[in-house]
Amino acid sequence: MSETSPKGISKGTGRIAEYAVGLVVVLMFLFHMWTASFGTLAAYQLTAVHWALVGTFIILVKPLKSPMGRIADILLILANLFICFYEIKLQNDFVVNAGMYTQFDIYVSMASIVLALVIAQRMLGNILPVIVVVFIGYALLGNLIPGMFRTIRFSIDRIAPYLYTAYEGMFGQTLAVSALFIYLFVAFGTALDLTGAGEFFVDLAYSIAGRAKGGPAQAAVYSSMLLGTINGSGAANVVTTGTFTIPLMKKVGFKPEFAGAVEAVASSGGQIMPPVMGAAAFLMSEMTGIAYAKIAFAALLPAALYYLTLSFAVYLTSHKLNLPTVDKKDQLKPLDVLKKGWYHMLPLFLLIGMMIRGYSVQRSAFFSILLVFAIGFLTNRKKMTLANIYKSLKSSVDGIAPIAAACILAGAIMGVINLTGLGLKISSIIETLAAGRMLIALVLTMLASLLLGMGLPTSACYMILAVLIAPALTKMGASPMAAHLFILYFGALSTITPPVALSTFAAAGIAQASVWKTGVESIKLASTGFIIPFLFVFNQELLFQGSFADILFALVTSIGGSLILAVSITGWMRERVSVLGRIILIPAGIMLFVVKPYYFNLIGIALTAAVLFVEIKLARKVARRPGQ
C-alpha cells in the first residue's frame, strides 16, 4: 500500500507532479531561449507552445484538492495540450483548405474557450473569466439588444473558431506578446535576483541616498524603481524589495503607513519607467506600430517626474519629522558598493545597448540573460547550484503564468470586440458623452483604466482599453503615443488605488500598518502620476515631442512643478505650511507642467511666490512671539 499524505493524496503522486513541474520549467526556459536566438517559428506556433507549457504549469501548481482531482487534472492537461497543438495543425491546414472549418474544428474551438477559462480561473480568480463570458454572451445575444449596441446575429459556430484561430483571438496578438517578450524579461529579472543583483541595486541606492535624512526611504524609491522596471509587477516588487526597505524605513522613524506607501508607489512606478517598463513598452509597440525606442524615450520625462516628486516628498517628510541621519559606521560608500558589484550592471547596459543598436528585443534579452548567468558563475560559483538555478527558473514561470493567463483571456475579449465592432461603438459613446471635450474623454478613460486595472494585470488592462478607448482619444486629437501612454499610466496606478490596491495591500502587510491609511498616503505620494497623463495629452513637449526650446522649457518648469507638488503633499518647506497654502500650491504646481499657453507658468510662479512670502512671514511672526 502506498504511503499517503494526511489529505489522502499519495506522496508518490505528489512527487511525480513535482517532477512534471520541473520538466515544464526547464522546457519553458529552453524553448524561449531557443526562439529568442536561433529558432524561427510562426506566431501561432510560438503562442501554442507557450500556452501548452504555461497551462500545464498552472494545472500542476494549482491542482484540485480531492483524490479524484488528480485524474481530472491529468485529463485537463492532456486536453489543453491537444487544443494547443491542434491550433498549429489547423493554421497549417488553412493553406490547403482556404480557411474552411469542419464540424470537429468547431467543437475543438468551443473546447478551447472552456479550457482557457477553467485554467486561467485557477491563476487569476473569477473577475477576468466572468468578463470574458459577458463579452461572449454579448456576441451571441447582441442581435437582441436595442439601440446602438445591437449587432448582427453571430452563432457559436462562428464565434468559437474566430476566437480560436484569429490573430485578434486567444492565440493571437496578446498571447504573442507574452511569448515573445514578457517571459524573457521575467526570466531576466529572476536571473538577476539569483546572482545577487537585487541586493546590489538596493545597496547602491542606499549608499548614494543614505547620507541624507530619510536615506533608507530614498534607497527604497530608487532600488524599487530599478527592479520594478524589469519585473513589471508592482505587487511582486513590493514583496521582493519591501521586505528589506520597509523595516529599514520604520527603523529610522518613518510611520508604518508612510513606509508602506513609499514602497508601493515606487514599485508600481516601475511599469512606467524606461527602458523596460515591465515589458509594457514592447506590448505598446506591438499594439501601435510605434518603434520601441520612441516609446521608451517619450515615457522617460513623465516617469522621471513621478519619481522626482516621490523622492522630494520623502526628503521633506524626513525634515518634517526631524529624522536622524544614518550613523557613519552604518553608511555605505558608493565607490565601495560599485567596486564590489559593478559587474551586476553589465547585463542592463548590454540589454539597452543592443536594443539601441537595432537588435531585436528577443536577441537582446537572450544575450543579456546569458551574461547574467556567466557573471553568476564567475563571481559567486557557490550560489550557482542546480537547486538555485532551478528555483530562479521556476520563479520566472511563476511570474509569467498570471500574465499569460490574462493575455489568452484578453485575446478572447479582443476577438469579440473586433468581431462585433464593439470597439467602434464604445469609442463613439465616449465621443458622444464628451461632446468633443478632450478633458471629459480623458476622465472617462481614467475611470475605465482604474476600474479594469483593479481586477486585471496591467498588461491585460492596457490591451483591452487600447482597443476599446484609444481610438476615441486619437480621433478627438490625442496623438497615438499620448493616448496609449495615458491608458498604461492609469492601469499601472490601479495597483495603489482603493478599493482593490494589490501593491498597497502587500506593502501594508509588511509594514504592519492600516491598509486604508497606507492607501491614502500612496495616493498622495503618487499624485504626479495622476496629473501628468492629462497634461502630456495636451502638451506633447512632456513626451519630448516638439521644438528643442519648448522641450527644454517643459523640462525646467515641470521639475519646478514636481517640487511644488511635493511641498503641497507633505505640508513642509523648512517650516510647516498652512492648510490654505498647501491647497493653493496644488494648482500652482500643476500650472508649471503646462507648456502652452505660457501664461499658465507665470500664474503658477506667482501663486507659489505669494504662498512662500506669506508662509515665511507667518513663520517669522511665530518665531518672534515670547516663549517661542
**Residue 159 and residue 157: Cα distance in Å, rounded?**
6
CB 186 within 8 A of CB 174: no
Tens-place pLDDT, residues 472-482: 888 888 899 99
Residue 13 confidence (pLDDT) above 60? no
Tens-place pLDDT, residues 256-277: 999 999 988 888 888 888 876 7
Kindly write down the DSSP assignment for every residue of 321-348, as one continuous string: TTPPPPPGGGPPPHHHHHHHHGGGGHHH
**Residue 335 and residue 297: Cα distance in Å, rounded?**
29
Average pLDDT score over residue span 360-379: 91
**Residue 361 and residue 364: Cα distance in Å, rounded?**
5
In this prediction, residue 5 has a pLDDT band, given cuts at 50, 70 and 90, of very low
Put residue 413 in one of left, alpha, beta given phi > 0 → left and psi -120 to 50 → alpha.
Answer: alpha
State whether residue 573 is helix, strand or coil: strand
Amino acid at 387: A
Q: At which residue does the C-alpha cell 507552445 appear?
A: 49
In this prediction, residue 358 has a pLDDT band, given cuts at 50, 70 and 90, of confident
612 against 58, higher pLDDT: 58
The pLDDT, as a whole number, for residue 622 is 65
Average pLDDT score over residue span 596-603: 84
Angle at 413 between CA 411 and CA 416, to 5 degrees: 110
Reported in sequence order, the residue ranges of 172-238 that DSSP labels E, i.e. its strands, are none
- All 3 cell numbers of residue 34? 531557443
Average pLDDT score over residue span 532-555: 89
Averaging pLDDT over each range in 381-390, 446-455, 571-580, which range is the top one?
381-390
The pLDDT, as a whole number, for residue 330 is 62
**Residue 494 and residue 245: Cα distance in Å, rounded?**
22
Average pLDDT score over residue span 165-193: 85
Angle at 442 between CA 437 and CA 443, to 5 degrees: 100
Residue 515 confidence (pLDDT) above 90? no
315 closest CA partner among 323, 303, 305, 327: 323
Amino acid at 335: L
The pLDDT, as a whole number, for residue 233 is 63
In this prediction, residue 372 has a pLDDT band, given cuts at 50, 70 and 90, of very high
In this prediction, residue 547 has a pLDDT band, given cuts at 50, 70 and 90, of confident
For residues 413, 418, 424, 425, the Cα torsion angle rounded to the nearest 10 degrees is -60
The pLDDT, as a whole number, for residue 10 is 44
**Residue 425 and residue 493: Cα distance in Å, rounded?**
27
**Residue 378 and residue 365: Cα distance in Å, rounded?**
20
User: What is the rounded average pLDDT for all residues in the chain?
Assistant: 84
The pLDDT, as a whole number, for residue 2 is 39
State whether residue 469 is helix, strand or coil: coil
In this prediction, residue 4 has a pLDDT band, given cuts at 50, 70 and 90, of very low
Q: At which residue does the C-alpha cell 500598518 appear?
A: 513
For the chain, percent of residues with pLDDT exceeding 70: 91
Range name among 317-331, 413-427, 436-450, 593-607 with the lowest pLDDT average: 317-331
In this prediction, residue 393 has a pLDDT band, given cuts at 50, 70 and 90, of very high
The pLDDT, as a whole number, for residue 1 is 36
The pLDDT, as a whole number, for residue 627 is 52
Which residues, in sequence order, are CB contacts of 275 under 8 Å at separation 6+? 229, 281, 296, 351, 352, 355
Average pLDDT score over residue span 322-344: 78
Average pLDDT score over residue span 326-351: 81
Angle at 22 between CA 18 and CA 24, to 5 degrees: 115
State whether residue 5 is helix, strand or coil: coil
Determine phi and psi for 498, rounding to 5 degrees: -60, 155
Tens-place pLDDT, residues 104-144: 999 999 999 999 999 999 988 888 899 899 999 999 998 89
In this prediction, residue 385 has a pLDDT band, given cuts at 50, 70 and 90, of very high
Peptide bond into 499 cis (omega under 30): yes
In this prediction, residue 161 has a pLDDT band, given cuts at 50, 70 and 90, of very high
Average pLDDT score over residue span 405-432: 84
State whether residue 576 is helix, strand or coil: strand
Average pLDDT score over residue span 302-317: 91
